[in-house]
């Protein structure tokens, strides 16, 4: 039992070698081009494999929604890949498959994306397909009805999942009227109100050149990609996306919410507001979350699962958000162990504020964090996604090099400092089976 963290330490150390420097994950020089209408093109040539990946990022997501429009960005992204003026949803899927790849569209909190992959010899055809989906969706009423039922079913399903229920209650408690309070799926009442008119208005506000980034990674030549992007997107009229919704999270205060959800486990979540990923404290807070919940070497796993046998699952989450972020400590336990598990999880959160990580904990946490980042960037699809989303956030693809260097410079004192700053007051959300 005691040897497991040591084994993980070795694996993490090996992963660290993949992550230094961050630029080593890039196969070619990245070129940034801004078209006359404000549309941005990023190209990363990579001759290593005969494939190409495309990420068309849109500055659109829950951060631009209100409680009345919650879920409209996700709804719109589901619609754009279902039908265009010249292709049905089936034809869109079949054409992507014929080109040796696939196409999809998603919406998250700070961004939305149309993603596609194909064999590199078909890169022009797959880019044309992405452009058709982005520029010519029909947003037909008949499709909207079926998509609405699909989304409402997903929302209802979340209500049957203990972890999802606990997460939704916690984010609502932490963020109040701020858009991060709800899942990108939205809320039942707001989704019910979505119709073609509102979808079209949302589309026209956000699908504008100044709020779009095209990132291409694969076996391509930069001048050719830029020329094709100019042909496909250069005719869009100049436009800037709207500002994100302005809302302030409620005052910090300790709360405990409890929900009854049928299931075999009780889910315990303890959360607090934390800095956005562009904040100077982001690297240290990321290391903090890894010291606590970074795999089998994290304190939560070694203390709460290995030593005390209180956890089926445990981790620490610190999503990389553009606006106010949040930190979450999670533990899944047997219902009969709920009280003990809560107390032990609180104790570990108090301990990190009083006891900084050891040199070994710090080393392993950094290795785990940077190693996972390097592993995540191995594919052209993920490379394109990173390029597009960081550009949309305003920090540029160069951010990863700065971030990697900043993580390397984090000290044990830095970890303790951010723990004291951000984990002082925690909000708690528990989802447990009904008491019989």
Over residues 368-420, the pLDDT tens digits come to 999 999 999 999 999 999 999 999 999 999 999 999 999 999 999 999 999 99
On average, the pLDDT of the chain sits at: 92
pLDDT of residue 295: 85
Handedness of CA 285, 66, 60, 166 (dihedral sign): positive
CA atoms of 221 and 204, how far apart (whole Å): 31
Convert the pLDDT of each residue in 50-82 to its tens digit: 999 999 999 999 999 999 999 999 999 999 999
Using CA atoms of 390, 395, 397, 399 in order, give the dihedral in degrees to the nearest 10: -110
Q: State the fold for domain 4-23+251-432.
A: Cytochrome Bc1 Complex; Chain A, domain 1 (3.30.830)
Domain extents in the chain: 4-23+251-432, 35-233
Average pLDDT, integer, range 79-101: 96
* DSSP secondary structure code for residue 99 in this structure: T
CA atoms of 87 and 65, how far apart (whole Å): 29
Q: Are the C-beta atoms of 197 and 83 separated by less than 8 Å?
A: no
Which of 249, 250, 203, 171 has its CA nearest to residue 69?
203
Q: In the structure encoding, which two tokens stand for residue 94, read together?
A: 């079949």
Q: Is the pLDDT of residue 111 over 70?
A: yes
Q: Are the C-beta atoms of 384 and 216 separated by less than 8 Å?
A: yes
Q: Examine residue 21 and say whether the peptide bond preceding it is cis (omega within 30 degrees of 0).
A: yes
By the 10 Å C-beta count (0-12 exposed, 13-18 middle, 19+ buried), 1 is classed as exposed
HSE-CB of 288 using CA atoms within 13 angstroms: 32
CA atoms of 32 and 299, how far apart (whole Å): 42
| More reliable by pLDDT, 64 or 25 | 64
Task: Report H helices in 244-356.
Answer: 282-293, 299, 338-354
> Confidence band (pLDDT; 50, 70, 90) for 27?
low
pLDDT of residue 435: 82
CA atoms of 129 and 81, how far apart (whole Å): 10
Convert the pLDDT of each residue in 221-233 to its tens digit: 999 999 999 999 9
- Would you say the CATH fold of 35-233 matches that of 4-23+251-432? yes
pLDDT of residue 22: 37
Q: Is the pLDDT of residue 158 over 60?
A: yes
> Confidence band (pLDDT; 50, 70, 90) for 10?
very low
CA atoms of 324 and 336, how far apart (whole Å): 35
Residues above pLDDT 90, as percent of the chain: 90
Q: Is the pLDDT of residue 2 over 90?
A: no
Model's pTM, two decimal places?
Answer: 0.90
Which of 237, 229, 234, 236 has its CA nearest to residue 128?
229
Q: State the fold for domain 35-233.
A: Cytochrome Bc1 Complex; Chain A, domain 1 (3.30.830)
pLDDT of residue 252: 86
| More reliable by pLDDT, 158 or 5 | 158
Q: Is the pLDDT of residue 25 over 60?
A: no
Handedness of CA 199, 202, 206, 208 (dihedral sign): positive
In 3-state terms the chain splits into helix, strand, coil percentages (rounded to 5) of 50, 20, 30
Question: Which H/E stretch holds residue 112?
Answer: strand 112-119
């Amino acid at each position: 039992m005691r040897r497991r963290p040591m084994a993980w330490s070795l694996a993490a150390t090996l992963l660290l070698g993949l992550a230094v420097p961050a630029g080593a994950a890039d196969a070619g020089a990245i070129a940034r081009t801004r078209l006359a209408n404000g549309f941005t093109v990023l190209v990363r040539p990579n001759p290593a494999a005969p494939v190409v990946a495309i990420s068309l990022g849109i500055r659109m997501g829950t951060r631009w929604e209100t409680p009345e429009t919650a879920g409209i960005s996700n709804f719109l992204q589901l619609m754009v890949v279902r039908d265009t003026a010249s292709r049905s949803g089936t034809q869109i899927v079949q054409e992507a498959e014929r080109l040796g790849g696939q196409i999809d569209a998603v919406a998250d909190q700070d961004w939305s994306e149309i993603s596609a992959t194909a064999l590199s010899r078909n890169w022009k055809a797959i880019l044309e397909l992405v452009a058709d989906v982005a520029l010519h969706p029909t947003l037909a009423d008949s499709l909207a009805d079926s998509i609405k039922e699909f989304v409402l079913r997903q929302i209802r399903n979340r209500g049957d999942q203990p972890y999802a229920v606990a997460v939704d209650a916690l984010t609502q408690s932490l963020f109040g009227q701020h858009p991060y309070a709800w899942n990108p799926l939205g809320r039942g009442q707001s989704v019910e109100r979505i119709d073609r008119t509102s979808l079209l208005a949302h589309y026209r506000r956000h699908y504008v050149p100044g709020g779009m980034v095209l990132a291409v990674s694969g076996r391509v030549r930069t001048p050719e990609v830029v020329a094709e992007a100019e042909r496909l997107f250069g005719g869009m009229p100049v436009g800037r996306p709207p500002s994100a919704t302005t809302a302030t999270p409620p005052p910090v205060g300790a709360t405990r919410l409890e929900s009854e959800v049928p299931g075999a486990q009780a889910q315990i979540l303890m959360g607090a507001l934390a800095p956005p990923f562009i904040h100077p404290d982001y690297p240290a807070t990321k290391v903090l979350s890894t010291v606590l919940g970074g795999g089998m070497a994290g304190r939560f796993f070694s203390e709460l699962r290995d030593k005390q046998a209180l956890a089926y699952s445990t981790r620490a989450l610190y999503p990389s958000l553009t606006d106010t972020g949040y930190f979450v400590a999670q533990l899944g336990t047997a219902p009969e162990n709920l009280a003990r598990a809560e107390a032990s999880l609180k104790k570990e959160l108090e301990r990190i504020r009083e006891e900084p990580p050891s040199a070994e904990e710090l080393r392993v946490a950094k290795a785990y964090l940077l190693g996972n980042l390097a592993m995540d960037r191995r594919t052209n699809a993920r490379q394109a996604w990173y390029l597009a989303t960081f550009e949309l956030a305003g920090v540029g693809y160069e951010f990863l090099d700065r971030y990697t260097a900043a993580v390397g410079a984090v000290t044990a004192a830095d970890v303790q400092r951010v723990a004291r700053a951000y984990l002082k007051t925690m909000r708690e959300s528990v989802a447990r089976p009904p008491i019989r």
